[in-house]
Amino acid sequence: MKLSGTCSRLLGVALLVTSLYSVQAFACVDGHGFLPKNDMKIPPFDKFEKRLKGLQGIDESEFNMVLDKIKEVYDPIVRQHGGNLVFQRDWNNAEVNAYAERQGNNYIVKMFGGLARHQVMTSDGFALVACHEVGHHIGGSPKYPGQWAASEGQSDYFANLKCLRKVFRKDDNKDIIKNMNVPQTVKTKCEASFKNEGEQALCQRISMAGLSAASLFSNGNNPEFDRPDPNVVSTTYHKHPAPQCRLDTYFAGSICPVDDDDEIGQSNPNKGTCNREDTTYAYGQRPLCWYKPTTGGGGDNGGGDSEVPTPTVNGQTSIVSTNPNQVIPIYIDVSKISGAKGFVLEATKPNTVFSNPNGSNIDQVNGGGYEVISAKKGTYSLVPARQLPGWGSYQFRVLPLDRNRRVIGNFSDSVNITLRPQ
């Protein structure tokens, strides 16, 4: 079926708004960084000074090599999310931290030499930190309430579950781990989770990267794989977990057997993860020292009874069109959402992403227009030349409504539609 023709007219009018970039800057969102605020400074030192003082950490060439590798892998992935991945590298900065920011559609990761020079930092550990910052941008739910950024614990989980696996997959991991003192617990659980020797080696390697990152600022009480944090939160904790809890999270991401190409849901924390609702996963669930499991798909700690399906175009959730007069069929289905009788269809302004991706409110910052549809499912026929203000990337999402047009749950993940000339 086709959706109401009035939708096209109203959505098109709403989108004829001057496109403004919304500048939002966050230092790992809560004002601190990958680590809580600290006064430690580690300035650059020459090779002789490093040998003389027995200093460790990584050098500038490793610093750049790691970031080059991650950018190569994640540039196209971030573009699929409507962003432009920007690594801001400051080797001479003595600060021991890293940050994530957004400026318009620039997804910024700030990496400092002070962190790279820390004595517990390895090349792999530094890669994990960079992956954590990428995770704030695309690492999924749970997110900081009302914000674009994944919480600290979720960014930790994403770093090992998705990012490091992609970045290290083509390396000779069996050879690399030969020089690592891998604890037996790590070997046992990696072998239990993965049958392939290469996957087992990759699991061990990224687990040890987690140990390096979690040991930062542990104040001598170093985290261990054999003594997980016993604390259980009553609600999801969004800021920095304790070092042991962070290691537990890295390790969980490492041993979770869900494929790294199975993308984490931006609104449903169970999508693309090992979760407690799916009993087939013996290992790899996010630890309860920071995470409160949800019972539904509508974002962290609540929402509807099930996940709102992502709109699709010919079965795809990301498409590119070079013909502005071609009809783009956006298929929408909320029929399986209990009580749903209709939905809101919302679009972003060009070249922006939703600023509240896991919420239930119309986006007042990056939203370009919306329309209320009285149907459970159907195909919305989008004609860009008539309904959109110009070339660029757009996101479309849906929010289910009951018969009285009251909201049920949270918005779906978005379908990404890019319009560009040939």
> Residue 269 has what DSSP assignment?
T
Mean pLDDT over each residue of the chain, to the nearest integer: 84
- pLDDT band with cut points at 50, 70 and 90 for residue 23: very low
Q: Clarify whether residues 111 and 216 are in a common domain.
A: yes
**For residue 406, what is the domain's CATH number?**
2.60.40.10
Per-residue pLDDT of 56-68, as tens digits, reads 789 999 999 999 9
Residue 289 in any domain: the answer is no
Cα–Cα distance measured from residue 348 to residue 221, given in angstroms and rounded to the nearest whole number: 47
Domain range for 67:
32-255
pLDDT, position 239 = 86
Domain end marker among 220, 255, 290:
255
- The percent helix, strand, coil of the chain (3-state, each to 5) is 30, 20, 50
Per-residue pLDDT of 204-229, as tens digits, reads 999 999 999 998 877 667 899 999 99
Residue 10 in any domain: the answer is yes
pLDDT score of 304 more than 80: no
pLDDT score of 195 more than 70: yes
Cα–Cα distance measured from residue 188 to residue 137, given in angstroms and rounded to the nearest whole number: 32
Q: Clarify whether residues 246 and 325 are in a common domain.
A: no
Q: Clarify whether residues 14 and 65 are in a common domain.
A: no
Q: Clarify whether residues 140 and 218 are in a common domain.
A: yes
Q: Clarify whether residues 15 and 36 are in a common domain.
A: no
Q: What is the pTM of this model?
A: 0.66
What the block records as the tokens of 310 is 């992502």
Q: Clarify whether residues 38 and 16 are in a common domain.
A: no
Residue 239 in any domain: the answer is yes
Task: State the total domains in the chain.
Answer: 2
Cα–Cα distance measured from residue 124 to residue 158, given in angstroms and rounded to the nearest whole number: 15
- pLDDT band with cut points at 50, 70 and 90 for residue 406: confident
pLDDT score of 396 more than 70: yes
Distances, alpha carbon 241 to alpha carbons 107, 248, 350, in Å? 24, 10, 36
Q: Clarify whether residues 328 and 415 are in a common domain.
A: yes
Q: Clarify whether residues 310 and 188 are in a common domain.
A: no
Q: Which residues pair with 32 in a beta bridge?
A: none
Phi-psi region of 255 (alpha: psi -120 to 50; beta: other; left: phi over 0): alpha
Q: What is the mean pLDDT of residues 357-383?
A: 87
Displacement of CA 74 from its chain's centroid (Å): 11
Residue 53 in any domain: the answer is yes
pLDDT score of 297 more than 60: no
Domain end marker among 255, 280, 296:
255
Residue 120 in any domain: the answer is yes
Q: What is the mean pLDDT of residues 85-91?
A: 96
Cα–Cα distance measured from residue 156 to residue 168, given in angstroms and rounded to the nearest whole number: 17
